[in-house]
Amino acid sequence: VWITYVATDGSESRVDVRSGDSLMMGAILNNVRGIDGECGGCLSCATCHVYVEPEWAQRLPEPDSMEIELLEGVMAERRPSSRLSCQISVTAELDGMQVLLPESQA
C-alpha cells in the first residue's frame, strides 16, 4: 500500500507499507524521518503525531477517546486533522494516501 509522508519542508517519502501495519510502523520500517513512535504504538507517547487531510481522514475510523486524550499532549500544533499514526491501520483502501508530518515530535 503506497503511502506518502510529507515533511514540513515539502520533501516527500513515498513508501510501500504492509497492509495491517500502522502508519507509524510504516514510517519506522522505511526509515521515514519525522515520526518517533517512542512507545511502540501502545498509545502513551504521542510522538507519532501526523496530520491527515479530510479527504483521507473520512476513510478512517474516528479516533477513540484515548487517542483524543493523548492528542492534547502533542508537541507541535494540534489541528483538526491531527491523528496519532500508531492508531491508523493501513488498508488497501488507503493506497495513495498522503500524511503530513508535524514540525517536531518531542
Residues at the site binding ligand FES, with contacts judged by CB under 6 A: 24, 37-39, 41, 43-48, 70, 84, 86
Q: Which is nearer to ligand FES, 44 or 91 (CB)?
A: 44
Q: Residue 36 CB, nearest distance to ligand FES (Å)? A: 7
Q: Which is nearer to ligand FES, 10 or 62 (CB)?
A: 62
DSSP secondary structure of 11-25? -EEEEE--TTSBHHH
Is there a contact between 5 and 56 (Cβ–Cβ < 8 Å)?
no
Widest Cα–Cα separation across the chain = 32
Q: Residue 24 CB, nearest distance to ligand FES (Å)? A: 5
Is there a contact between 46 and 84 (Cβ–Cβ < 8 Å)?
yes
**Cα distance between residue 25 and residue 73, in whole Å:** 21
Position of minimal CB gap to ligand FES: 86
Q: Which is nearer to ligand FES, 28 or 94 (CB)?
A: 28
**Residue with the three cell numbers 501502545:** 42
Q: Which is nearer to ligand FES, 27 or 97 (CB)?
A: 27
